């Protein structure tokens, strides 16, 4: 492992959200972790890829930028990284060669600000890894692993307000698919959600896609061989809705499911072959060529009582739209109509065949990681492009966030001021 502390970062103060402060400490190079963090070899790159700022009128609003660059490991290291608003490295943590870090962000654990990410191998398929929690002195304080014989997947690591962790996993099993024209012994990948007690590792809740969603809802074609695993569901997100239910996202069924955290039952679903809602576009907005608001999507987020955002890939290689976008959707619970009310298109007009997210910041902006594309951007509530940045070719970040992150005393001042 290798951690970098910027000497160029300086403390700052915004009217609402504090900017990054000078880092207090670095992670000791000898620190080992449960997820397999043997030290990177001396021949491995230790520096992150450069970032080129293409547009920047956002200033310091919203805080620092949190990414986990991956790719071109002959030239750059993989790992979680904090950038300031000018794209300068504040902190970078190189993971061991052969591993990847994903979903890097700030969260609150036990009332304190922490840094969290997943680290492991095989991301995007049957992956294996561990979720990490570091304090504001850049020291590891906890790890989270999946239970019941599963391994944590890198698509999601979410700490709940009651200090448990919502994580994902994939499991390989066999299914009889003769009812949908498949073989009787098809190898399949099912999606698993677990709620884990962080302190004890106990599994408090578990949800398996195959127990609740028919295989017939998948948009993923069957493989040519029964022994080739069919990733029919491809779970990629679990978030908390405002009423305490779970928003579980399935890329391969083009569907987001609202699920009871108590019973595991599906309350409603949006998109795909069995949507609870009829889908339509508001004036000036466009459905894709399949008549859907989104397809092959990621990252459902509730941002209002009846309003949600999604990262709409609209492609897994063959685009249903010529570009990917972040979409805002309003649900009418009485009429069961879902309306596409806003969309922020990829600034270069490109299509992201995988990954991506759309985070609503405290200022109401939309901060977008463009997944497989080497870009991340920020849009104002009116859709104006405020920020756009680019990695070198071959490098991307699964998600990108803009979040407040400062030293302990500054964070406490923020929490104190926020209560006034």
Where do the structural domains in the chain lie, given as residue ranges? 145-276
Looking at residue 252, what is its pLDDT? 98
- Whole-angstrom Cα distance, residue 278 to residue 271? 9
Looking at residue 7, what is its pLDDT? 35
Looking at residue 58, what is its pLDDT? 87
Looking at residue 70, what is its pLDDT? 96
Check if the beta carbon of residue 359 is closer than 8 Å to that of residue 402: yes
Residue closest to 381 by CA, chosen among 337, 414, 351, 341? 341
Residue closest to 146 by CA, chosen among 160, 129, 161, 134? 129
- Whole-angstrom Cα distance, residue 46 to residue 50? 12
Looking at residue 144, what is its pLDDT? 98
Q: Please report the beta strands in 122-240, taking only residues with DSSP state E, as ranges in sequence order.
A: 128-134, 140-144, 153-159, 164-175, 186-197, 203-208, 235-240
Place of tokens 């579980």: 248
- Whole-angstrom Cα distance, residue 313 to residue 79? 24
Residue closest to 87 by CA, chosen among 49, 48, 46, 53? 53
| Phi then psi dihedrals of residue 410, to 5 deg | -65, -40
DSSP string across 165-178: EEEEEEEEEEE--G
- The DSSP code for 230 is B
Residues near 27 by beta carbon (within 8 Å), at least 6 away in sequence: 1, 3, 93, 134, 138, 139, 140
DSSP string across 387-420: EEEEPPTT-EES--EEE----HHHHHHHHHHHH-
Looking at residue 97, what is its pLDDT? 92
- Whole-angstrom Cα distance, residue 188 to residue 338? 31
Helix (H) / strand (E) element for 112: namely: strand 112-121
Check if the beta carbon of residue 385 is closer than 8 Å to that of residue 55: yes
Check if the beta carbon of residue 273 is closer than 8 Å to that of residue 253: yes
Read off the pLDDT of residues 189-224 as tens digits, 9 standing for 90 and up. 999 999 999 999 999 999 999 999 999 999 999 999
Residue closest to 215 by CA, chosen among 236, 193, 194, 184? 184
| Phi then psi dihedrals of residue 211, to 5 deg | -80, -15
Q: Is 180 helix (H, G, I), strand (E, B) or coil?
A: helix
Strand 266-270 and strand 255-259: the pairing is: antiparallel
- The residue ranges of the chain whose pLDDT is under 70 are 1-42, 407-420
Helix intervals (H) in 106-252:
none
Read off the pLDDT of residues 132-150 as tens digits, 9 standing for 90 and up. 999 999 999 999 999 999 9
Q: Which residues partner with 332 through β-bridges?
A: 337
- What pTM was estimated for this model as a whole? 0.88
Residue 415 is encoded by which pair of tokens?
Answer: 């929490």
Q: Give the 3-state secondary structure percentages of the chain, helix then strand then coil, rounded to 5.
A: 5, 40, 55
Residue 310 is encoded by which pair of tokens?
Answer: 């999604």
Looking at residue 36, what is its pLDDT? 41
Looking at residue 413, what is its pLDDT? 45
């Amino acid at each position: 492992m290798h951690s970098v502390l910027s000497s160029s970062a300086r403390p700052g103060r915004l009217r609402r959200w504090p900017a990054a402060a000078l880092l207090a400490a670095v992670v000791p190079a000898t620190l080992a972790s449960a997820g397999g963090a043997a030290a990177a070899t001396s021949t491995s790159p230790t520096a992150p890829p450069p970032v080129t700022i293409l547009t920047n009128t956002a200033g310091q609003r919203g805080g620092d930028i949190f990414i986990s660059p991956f790719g071109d490991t002959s030239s750059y290291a993989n790992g979680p990284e904090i950038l300031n608003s000018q794209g300068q490295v504040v902190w970078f943590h190189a993971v061991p060669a052969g591993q990847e870090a994903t979903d890097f962000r700030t969260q609150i654990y036990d009332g304190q600000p922490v840094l969290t990410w997943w680290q492991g191998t095989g991301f995007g398929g049957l992956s294996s890894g561990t979720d990490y929690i570091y304090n504001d002195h850049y020291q590891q304080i906890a790890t989270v692993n999946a239970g019941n014989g599963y391994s944590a997947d890198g698509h999601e690591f979410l700490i709940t307000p009651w200090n448990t962790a919502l994580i994902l996993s994939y499991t390989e099993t066999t299914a009889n698919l003769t009812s949908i024209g498949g073989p009787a012994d098809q190898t399949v990948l099912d999606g698993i959600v677990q709620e884990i007690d962080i302190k004890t590792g106990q599994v408090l809740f578990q949800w398996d896609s195959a127990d609740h969603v028919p295989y017939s809802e998948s948009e993923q074609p069957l493989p040519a061989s029964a022994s080739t695993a069919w990733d029919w569901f491809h779970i990629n997100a679990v978030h908390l809705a405002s009423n305490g239910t779970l928003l579980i996202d399935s890329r391969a069924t083009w569907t987001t499911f609202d699920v009871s955290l108590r019973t595991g039952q599906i309350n409603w679903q949006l998109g795909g072959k069995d949507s609870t809602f009829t889908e339509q576009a508001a004036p000036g907005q466009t459905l894709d060529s399949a008549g859907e608001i989104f397809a092959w999507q990621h990252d459902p987020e509730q941002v209002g009582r009846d309003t949600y955002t999604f990262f709409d890939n609209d492609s897994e290689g063959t685009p249903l739209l010529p570009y990917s976008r972040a979409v805002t959707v309003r649900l009418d619970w009485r009429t069961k109509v879902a309306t596409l009310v806003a969309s922020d298109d990829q600034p270069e007009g490109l299509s992201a065949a995988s990954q991506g997210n759309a985070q609503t910041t405290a200022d109401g902006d939309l901060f977008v990681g463009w997944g497989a594309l080497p870009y991340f951007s920020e849009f104002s509530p009116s859709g104006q492009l405020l920020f756009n940045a680019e990695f070198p070719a071959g490098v991307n970040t699964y998600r990108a966030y803009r979040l407040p992150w400062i030293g302990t005393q500054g964070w406490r001042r923020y929490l104190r001021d926020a209560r006034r």
